[in-house]
Amino acid sequence: MEQKLEHPILAVIGLGNPGVKYYGNRHNIGFRVVDALAQRYGGQWQQKEIMEVATIRIGDKKLVLVKPQTFMNQSGKVMPFLNKQGIKAENVLVVHDELEYPFGKIKVRFGGSARGHNGLRSIIEYVGKDFARLRFGIGRPEDKKMVGNYVLQNFIEDAAEIDQLIDQSVDLIEGLLQVHQEEL
- Active-site amino acid positions: 27
Contact 135, 107 (CB under 8 A): yes
Compute φ and ψ for 69, nearest 5 degrees: -110, 35
For residue 82, CA distances in Å to 63, 70, 116, 175 come to: 11, 15, 24, 22
Is-contact 25 17, C-beta < 8 A? yes
Euclidean distance between CA atoms 158 and 161, whole angstroms: 5
Phi, psi of 97 (to 5 degrees): -75, 145
Within 78-158, residue ranges assigned H as helices are 79-84, 118-127, 147-151
Residue 139's alpha-carbon distances to 42, 99, 154, 158, in angstroms, are 31, 5, 13, 15
